[in-house]
Amino acid sequence: MKPARLALAHNLIVGYGLHRYVETYVQRRATEDEMTEFHSEDYIEFLKRVTPDNVNVFSKFLERFNLGSEDCPVFEGMFDFCRLSCGGSIEGARKICGKSDIAINWAGGLHHAKKFEASGFCYTNDIVLGILQLLRVYPRVLYIDIDVHHGDGVQEAFYQTDRVMTVSFHRYDGQFFPGTGSLDEIGAKAGKHYAVNVPLQQYIDDESYAYVFRHVMTNVMQTFQPGAVVLQCGADSLAGDRIGSFNLNVRGHGACVEFMKSFRVPMLVVGGGGYTIRNVARAWTYETSVLVGVEVPDELPANEYYLHFGPDYRLHAPLADSRLQNANSRAYLDQLIAHIAEQLRFVKGAPSVQMQEIPPDLNGGPGLSANDEDWEVDQAEDRRPDSRPADEASSEVSGSVGVRWRREKESRVRNPRELYDTENDQDRDGDGDGDGDGDGDRGASGSGGGSIPTRSGRSGLVPSATAAVAAASTKGVLADGDDENNENDEEDKDEEEGRGGGGDDDDDDGDGDAEFDFDNDERGEYGSDADDSDGDDDDDDDDDDDDDDGGGGEEDDMDVDADDEELGG
């Protein structure tokens, strides 16, 4: 994980001139507030304070946060390194949320870091922070990991949500670090079946890797249908890596990037592991050329670190060792593909999320730009004066008066089923009350509009939107000159006049058209004011507000709230 490999990759990319085909940005440092969107505040505070000089002072916290070990040592500039890594992935995700199709952060990909601790050379998880940013715009995000190690930190963070699917191709034998990533790890609660693991045996070659990758990812893309993809390109899966045990060449590793690019889905590409730094630079340079669509020659260009690529000085140096026997048979790979296909069968299409306003960025910026046209339209709508009649607007605000006014209006809404003639009357009693008992009552509840059974077993109002559609359809029938229907209409009119209504009681504004209360268009599902038998005048607007606030909130808490236990801790 030494920064030297980033220097080699950067110089090789610039040497090939690939930087001219992309927009380059200076990597900024993530703020502490941005990092605590996932990590705990005390852990970030510890990373900020501890240094090699005062590590003894914080000795009692080292075990708690898993620092000071061989794979997670305390080094000079550690917190600054973490901020740069996280800042690059967050900014890359923001570019994807904007107008960019592909964003690259080779300094990211630290997929082992947990919410409360470091793990496997990873101190902060820039991938999770980037995905959290993408979730502010995209309903579904797919995470793919082709590192030789299992992406346990990212899987744990989104283990209980269906908005993020994690797919990891890694070596697994129960002992290889980190020891997770079996086929049995499929997610929990809402995220069950949304964690996909492809455990591979050692020494897998280019052909076998491409075979299983293409089959699994084709099935995943067709089933999950993500709005954005995050691809972790850990280069320790290359042959000859000091820690890894796969047998892939640079082209075999880059074939995965090329295949995911073919789906034309916005994609954030990050780095990851890789401990033979000259091969890491080769792989990331080649994959950069694949992402920008430029072919580069095999001969390496002159650069500051040219001597590190000897003795062949080629981009596609033969890395695979033909003497190593691939432990992944075709039958084993087919078994993996079939097992994952069965798991994905339980993913019932792409999950949906509630439509809502885009939340602000992690840095507190607005979700919508003030320069956007939609923002201006919204502001213009806010400046429009109240167009309701003065008495209506005042009664709406006047507490119990507004409640009584609204209930009186509801009581005047007819049951849409009673807008038909007696012959076609659905309740067959001809009394016009819609309850089928023949007594002519408008219902025991007194709420008007008739009641229908709901899934909860209670009775609720027929939605006003349905009444409006039925009324519009009936109006069209009457306009065709149906004498019988016209007679019924005259009878209804006489009945209204007999009650002293002076015409259509639903015409509140005097324009001759029936009006319906769309504030209650969901009460057919959850009950009505008629169920309020205790006699208090609770304002139904409070209930509506609760419903609006509740929709989708559990998913947001699960994915975004840094303190939520459902992130996996």
| Dihedral-angle region of residue 432 (phi above 0 means left; psi in -120 to 50 means alpha; beta otherwise) | left
Would you tell me how many other CB atoms lie within 10 Å of the CB of residue 420?
Answer: 15
Strand partners, 57: none
Q: How far apart are CA 455 and CA 377, in angstroms?
A: 39
Rg (CA), the chain: 32
CB 233 within 8 A of CB 284: yes
Q: Which two tokens stand for residue 526?
A: 């959850």
Nearest to 351 by CA among 216, 212, 153, 187: 187
Nearest to 138 by CA among 88, 99, 96, 188: 96
Burial of 502 (0-12, 13-18, 19+ CB in 10 A): exposed
Q: How far apart are CA 428 and CA 449, in angstroms?
A: 17
CB within 8 Å of 358: residues ≥ 6 apart = 136, 137, 367, 368
SS3 472: helix
* CA angle, residues 121, 123, 126, in degrees to nearest 5: 110
Strand partners, 104: 269
* Cα 410 to the center of its chain, rounded Å: 39
Q: Which whole-number Å values give the CA distances from 190 to 137, 323, 550, 555, 566, in the listed order?
A: 20, 45, 16, 9, 10
Q: How far apart are CA 94 and CA 540, in angstroms?
A: 39
SS3 264: coil
Q: Which active-site residues does the annotation give?
A: 112
Q: Which two tokens stand for residue 565?
A: 């236990």
Q: Which whole-number Å values give the CA distances from 462 to 295, 355, 404, 488, 496, in the listed order?
A: 64, 24, 19, 22, 21
Nearest to 301 by CA among 311, 283, 313, 312: 313
